[in-house]
Amino acid sequence: MSETLNNPGYEIPPELQNQVAITTLDKIYNWGRRSSIWPMMFGLACCAIEMICTATSRFDFARFGMEIMRPSPRQSDLMIVAGTVTKKMMPQIVRLYNQMPEPKYVLAMGACASGGGPFKEGYNVVSGVDEFLPIDVYVPGCPPTPQALMNGLIMLQKKIDTQSIKTVRWYSKQPDQAVPVPVLGPDLIDPRQKNKIKEYTQAKLAAVEQGEANG
């Protein structure tokens, strides 16, 4: 623990090295968070099977303090989007994300969650969950192996190590804004794009009216 927390640049007398550790509040805070991340217990497709394998004794991500997979988003720190994301499922994923308390992270596991995968051209598949949610780590593969997921978890820990209490969003004075839940209609509609959709629709209507007038 002392090797992880000791801040370089400060010399501790040899007789006190096993008794005193000098560190910063950021380091002790991040060390506690990175060592007790609780992933949410849900999966979408074949990537979820690899995620389950990562929790078994052969790989065992309990060594990272992540063995407690919570069935409730209100007790989860990490959302692992494991599998193909359909347009019907995307609103539910955003709702789960909004119910997670800060600090929270999202890991896109596999080609489907990252960019649509082999189903990218499908009419019912979202071409990457990052169109709606902020992604912290991408894990490539179709599906990724348990080793790849574990590497992604290590990358997440490294990202947590670089964060500071002074700049993280959950300690900001600005109110936390929930991610708008997409609307499932003829297609998946992002409420954040309502102005563009309105302008596009008005332009189409104007073109139709002009064509009728000329005809």
pLDDT in tens, the chain (215 residues): 455 555 555 677 777 777 777 778 888 889 988 988 999 988 898 999 999 898 888 888 888 888 788 889 999 999 999 989 999 999 999 999 999 999 999 999 999 999 888 888 788 899 889 989 999 999 999 989 999 999 999 999 999 999 998 888 888 888 778 888 888 877 788 777 778 777 877 887 888 777 766 76
User: Which is it for strands 105-109 and 137-139: parallel, antiparallel or unpaired?
Assistant: parallel
pLDDT value, residue 4: 52
**134 preceded by a cis bond (ω within 30 of 0):** no
CA distance 184 to 92: 11
The pTM assigned to this predicted structure is 0.81
The pLDDT value given to residue 24: 83
* pLDDT at res. 8: 55
- Quote the pLDDT of residue 22: 76
Q: What is the structure's pLDDT at 154?
A: 92
> Dihedral through CA 133, CA 136, CA 137, CA 142, nearest 10?
0
First to last CA, the chain: 79
